[in-house]
Chains A and B, each alone.
Chain A
Amino acid sequence: MEPSTSTTSRVVIAAVAVVALWAGFAYDVSRPADARRYQRTLAQAAESAHDAAQTAALVGELELAGKVTRLFATAAFDDATKSLAGAEQKFASQGPPDSASAARRDELGLLLSAAVTALGDTAEADDDNRLRGEVGRLKDVAARLDDFVEAQR
């Protein structure tokens, strides 16, 4: 039995709608970044890095207070590191469209680099004094990242 004309036209309309939706989505994700869009990407990368640094600082504080096991702290630092890697990936995914954006990129680049170092050193800290110092550094980086995010809003 052949499909009726109305069924065929409904299928065609549905197919066209899906293709149009997909094309719109593809355009949205692949169009070159303008300054506003780039700023949003930087803010998102900074937010993720801030969250990772702040969480790692909290884990470090709890470890100093004897409230978490070393095994848990290791797993939590790993999670924070993964989150920070995601922030760096987002940061590197687009190039700046103008010189003002490039300046903001350079500023965030330094902060991300500081966060990576501080997080790595916190995870590797083998005594309480060192851990205390690294937690302080992490909190400082987290505060600067927070300021950066606020400045982008």
Chain B
Amino acid sequence: MKRFFAIALGVLTAIGGFVDIGDIVANGEAGARFGITHAWVLLVGVFGICAYAEMSGRVSAVSGRPVFDLVRERLGPRVALANLTGSLLVTVLTLGAELGGVGLALQLATSVNYLLWVPVVAFVLWAALWRAKFSVLENVFGLTGLVLIVFVIAFFRLHADTGGLWHQATHPGPPHGEDWGTYWFFAVALFASALTPYEVFFFSSGAVEERWTSRDLITSRVNVFVGFPLGGLLAFAIMLTSATVFHPLSTSVDSLSQVALPAALALGKLGLAAAILGFFAATFGAAMETGLSAGYTVAQYFGWNWGKLRRPREAARFHTVVLVSILVGVAVLLTTIDPIQLTEYTLVFSAVALPLTYLPILVVANDRDYLGDRVNGRLANALGLIYLIIVLIAAVAAIPLMIITRMGGG
């Protein structure tokens, strides 16, 4: 029974922890401008993150070591350095975007400018990462993130034109007034939002923090194959509600307040409060994950002590990297760049860095020295290769699409 509750808790936190500022922004914007014609991209993205998260969870559970640690050992310091550089840059930018997202959520609740909240949020984040237990952080924010289910309820209360939405989902392509360039730009952004690099590093390092072994493979797989798709459903609900409210009005979404409006429209102040709380939990939880991921990757590359299981004094360099990453994120936001715009840039750069993250995982997951008979089977390798090709196409297309469409402006 205890094990059942542990698995259930893991699934719930995986659902609540799936959504971050990238998912909120990309799904809100895409839903408003393109209806749900991008639903297939979300589906492809969620399958992809499931395939690779399962691999990295398995690698960590069987070998007892995080993926990044093995990448350096298996592929050598040069390849691992390229992986580190790409993923660290994207992770720190994402951390900045998440901190901005927390600030924006607090602005919606208080009407105090988000920039005034950013230093406060950064301090609380640092204190939490310094003092609080890993499981407490993961469970509190993962479970609170579940209130984003308000968007699922809101969708049913909005009495949407389901026939029209079905038509959009089954007829991918740009609607009247949009072009193929912007359609594909948003497709790449949505795909990147589902496969953000920090997610696999956090999942894999978290498995080590929680001392998973081969016996925990079932927990890992249930978390991934149940939790992540249901988390993707929350992201899809944001797209659906945005498509229901804004698309018929031909109105684009470019702020967090707009993303929250469908919840208020359907459920009043209670719905609005749940949406804002959900944004707060999702972005703060993701800020925590990105902050830790920055520390994990650097510490694992250089072979330092790392993790929340050790006292800060025993992993001083790991905690220093976490602190510096938070400060860099704050510095980026204090340039007054709009957090939503920062998120959009982060998604593009994330798309570019995807192959650097996912290719090494596929290589390590096929190494019998680490995994014995738990190496990838045919299905996992087929999926891994297909996704590697998709990831490569997205990486090559991201920057040209960004320039041609002027960041999706058309």
Mark B254-267 against chain A: 1 for CB-CB distance below 8 A, else 0: 11111011001100
A47 to B268, CA, bound (A): 28
Contacts of B377 in A (CB 8 A): none
A72, B109: Cβ atoms closer than 8 Å: yes
Known: A25-B403, A75-B111. A67 touches B251 (CB 8 A): no
Minimum CB distance partner of B104 in chain A: A75
B250, A67: Cβ atoms closer than 8 Å: no
Mark A104-120 against chain B: 1 for CB-CB distance below 8 A, else 0: 00000000000000000
A67, B110: Cβ atoms closer than 8 Å: no
- Closest beta carbon of chain A to B150's beta carbon, Å: 13
Interface residue from B109, B111, B250, B264 paired with A50 (Cβ < 8 Å): B250
Question: Does B249 make an interface contact (CB < 8 A)?
Answer: yes
How many interface residues does A have (CB within 8 Å)? 29
Mark A54-79 against chain B: 1 for CB-CB distance below 8 A, else 0: 11001100100111110110111011
A44 to B109, CA, bound (A): 31
Question: Does A121 make an interface contact (CB < 8 A)?
Answer: no
Give chain B interface residues in 91-127, CB to chain A under 8 Å: 107-111
B255, A67: Cβ atoms closer than 8 Å: no
A54 to B252, CA, bound (A): 10
A68, B255: Cβ atoms closer than 8 Å: no
Known: A62-B261, A67-B269, A72-B257. A51 touches B111 (CB 8 A): no
Chain A interface, >50% SS class: helix
- Closest beta carbon of chain A to B176's beta carbon, Å: 9
B255, A83: Cβ atoms closer than 8 Å: yes
Interface residue from B109, B245, B255, B268 paired with A79 (Cβ < 8 Å): B255
B177, A153: Cβ atoms closer than 8 Å: yes
- Closest beta carbon of chain A to B252's beta carbon, Å: 5
Minimum CB distance partner of A74 in chain B: B111
Contacts of B409 in A (CB 8 A): 44
A12 to B260, CA, bound (A): 50
B111, A62: Cβ atoms closer than 8 Å: no
B252, A67: Cβ atoms closer than 8 Å: no
B264, A75: Cβ atoms closer than 8 Å: no
Minimum CB distance partner of B261 in chain A: A58
Minimum CB distance partner of A71 in chain B: B111
Question: Does A140 make an interface contact (CB < 8 A)?
Answer: no
Known: A25-B403, A55-B261, A75-B108. A69 touches B269 (CB 8 A): yes
Question: Does B147 make an interface contact (CB < 8 A)?
Answer: no
Minimum CB distance partner of A44 in chain B: B409
B109, A54: Cβ atoms closer than 8 Å: no
- Closest beta carbon of chain A to B276's beta carbon, Å: 8
A51, B109: Cβ atoms closer than 8 Å: no
Question: Does B207 make an interface contact (CB < 8 A)?
Answer: no
Contacts of B177 in A (CB 8 A): 149, 153
A54 to B247, CA, bound (A): 12
Known: A54-B251, A55-B251, A71-B109. A79 touches B257 (CB 8 A): yes
- Closest beta carbon of chain B to A62's beta carbon, Å: 5
Interface residue from A50, A51, A75, A76 paired with B254 (Cβ < 8 Å): A51
List 9 interface pairs A-B (beta carbons < 8 Å), by A numbering. A54-B249, A68-B264, A69-B269, A71-B108, A71-B110, A72-B272, A75-B257, A76-B257, A76-B258
B: which residues have CB within 8 A of A?
107-111, 177, 245, 249-252, 254-258, 260-261, 264-265, 268-269, 272, 276, 403, 409-410
Smallest CB-CB A-B distances: 7 pairs:
A79-B255, A76-B257, A74-B111, A71-B111, A67-B268, A54-B251, A75-B111
